[in-house]
Structure 1
Amino acid sequence: MTHWLARLTLNPQCEQARRDATGPDSPVHLHRRVMSLYPDDAGPDPRARFGVLYRAEETPTGVHLIIQSNHRPDPGRLPHGYGTLVTSSLDPLLDALKPGRHIHYRCVASAVRKPGATTRAAYNLPAVVPLKGTAAAEWWMRQAEKTGITAHTAHHEPIDPVNSPRPGDDRRAPRIRHNRTRFEGTATVTDPDLLRTKIIEGIGRGKPYGCGLLSIAPARRPA
């Protein structure tokens, strides 16, 4: 199965693109826009079926979406003038992964801790506790080991959280809050097969709303 990597450059002159890219509900609008690039008859969970992950990035020229999937996105499904979509195969990069290879990485993730029932009762904690700052950075270092890489550098920066709708049609139900942190740095590949799996599957929660996409690129050997 071919895996695809696409860059969607939003046109700042397009009203629909501006609406999707701004405001507190932007991740929800972008999720719907990204999924509109794929066939409609995809069953109850089209994001999982097509392996769709995405990340929004602010650039000097505006918002770009990095989109990954196992089905090639169709630029013809975008509104006229919405933006430019460029797609290439991700497979050469995945096939080139070897133990000891040095890489740059970037990932926006929702770092959380899931305390056990006894801890929740003792401290009156929710089932899922969002992590920030040092706790989020430590979470990422644990995730890196589980992803098949050893991180040499790890920078973290909080970005705006997203409040996503709960499944179902009840709009009155409280939304699910996803705190988000951008992690980036350099690492060495330790387990290429595990890394390929994690790149394809994504990392953590909030995947429909711009979390979980792990991007890598070759890096110089650390000094």
Structure 2
Amino acid sequence: MYLSRVEIDTNNRRKIKDLSHLGAYHNWVEQSFPDEINSGQRQRHLWRIDRLNGKSYLLLLSATRPAPKEFERYGVAGTAVTKSYDAWLDQLKVGMVMRFRLTANPTHSIVEPNHPKGRVVPHVTIEQQKQWLADRAIGAGFELVGHRETESDKIHEFAFDVVSHDWPMLHRAKGHGVRLSRVTFEGLLCVKDLPTFKQTLTRGIGREKAFGMGLMTVIPEVQ
């Protein structure tokens, strides 16, 4: 596995005019793997957009290295970096406390007369979004540090934050678009089930993974 990052050239109008919706970013990611396109064997790629210190970055997790030229297509020249992710995964241990960042699409299903199998709708309040992540933590191999619930489920203490929430556009078909709920969480976690946690890091959490959701990254918490 490889983790790659490139600064998006937001000051170059010619470059970014195409990046008007999530589908365009998805195409950028896919075009960064020409060998997969030529062989007809597409791999799943996790990615997200990070905004740090006034700059925007495309962060990409993939089984193979992206082609440098294609990966920098909409980026600032010379800013693309790719590192081995397997080496990082090998350093993880049960009990490690990590600072995490996750961009996800928190949703739930509601049953309606016209949708007997359930209609997927986004969680819209911060409390709902945080509870969505809390409900998935143990099953994803980690525990949220500082999170507490009473047995009566009346008290919730979340030690992590929603640092951003927006509604980017996705054009699923020509002339038809839909806005997706994109939420970024930050906080502390403790690794509980190492194999499951590694799967979470490499496979993502939640829906819309092809469109910039689900990628969680972690760094050790400095004691």
TM-score, normalised relative to structure 1: 0.81
The CA deviation at 1:105 is 0.7
Partner of 1:206: 208
- Point out where structure 2 has 5 or more consecutive residues left out of the alignment: 146-158
Give secondary structure in 1 for the equivalent of 2:38: coil
Partner of 2:119: 127
The CA deviation at 1:26 is 3.4
Give the counterpart letter for 1:97 in structure 2: L
Deviations 1:161-190 (Å, cap 9, x if unpaired)? 133233xxx524x43432111111001000
Partner of 2:38: 41
Give secondary structure in 1 for the equivalent of 2:222: coil
**Distance in structure 2 (CA, Å) of the matches to 1:81 and 1:184:** 25
Partner of 2:4: 6
Against the structure 1 CA distance between its residues 122 and 208, is the aligned structure 2 distance closer, same or farther, given a 3 Å change threshold?
closer
The CA deviation at 1:103 is 0.4
User: Higher helix fraction: Structure 1 or Structure 2?
Assistant: 1
Contact 1:162 1:209 in 2 (8 A): no
Correspondence 1:146-161 to 2 at 5 A = 146-152=139-145, 153-161=159-167
**Distance in structure 1 (CA, Å) of the matches to 2:107 and 2:74:** 39
Partner of 1:164: 170
Partner of 2:91: 96
**Which one of 194, 197, 207 corresponds to residue 195 of structure 1?**
197
Percent of aligned pairs sharing the same letter? 25
Contact 2:16 2:74 in 1 (8 A): no
**Distance in structure 2 (CA, Å) of the matches to 1:29 and 1:95:** 33
Give secondary structure in 1 for the equivalent of 2:112: helix
Partner of 1:107: 102
Against the structure 1 CA distance between its residues 157 and 104, is the aligned structure 2 distance closer, same or farther, given a 3 Å change threshold?
same
**Distance in structure 2 (CA, Å) of the matches to 1:31 and 1:17:** 15
- Point out where structure 1 has 5 or more consecutive residues left out of the alignment: none
Give the counterpart letter for 2:222 in structure 1: R
The CA deviation at 1:125 is 10
**Aligned residues: CA RMSD:** 2.6
Structure 1, 25-34 or 126-135: larger mean CA deviation: 25-34
Give the counterpart letter for 1:11 in structure 2: D
**Distance in structure 2 (CA, Å) of the matches to 1:81 and 1:198:** 28
**Distance in structure 1 (CA, Å) of the matches to 2:92 and 2:25:** 30
**Distance in structure 1 (CA, Å) of the matches to 2:26 and 2:114:** 37
**Distance in structure 2 (CA, Å) of the matches to 1:52 and 1:120:** 33
**Distance in structure 2 (CA, Å) of the matches to 1:124 and 1:194:** 32
Structure 1, 151-160 or 140-149: larger mean CA deviation: 151-160
Deviations 1:53-100 (Å, cap 9, x if unpaired)? 111112235211111100101112244875421000011221112111
Deviations 1:108-151 (Å, cap 9, x if unpaired)? 10001123xxx434999961021022111100111222211101
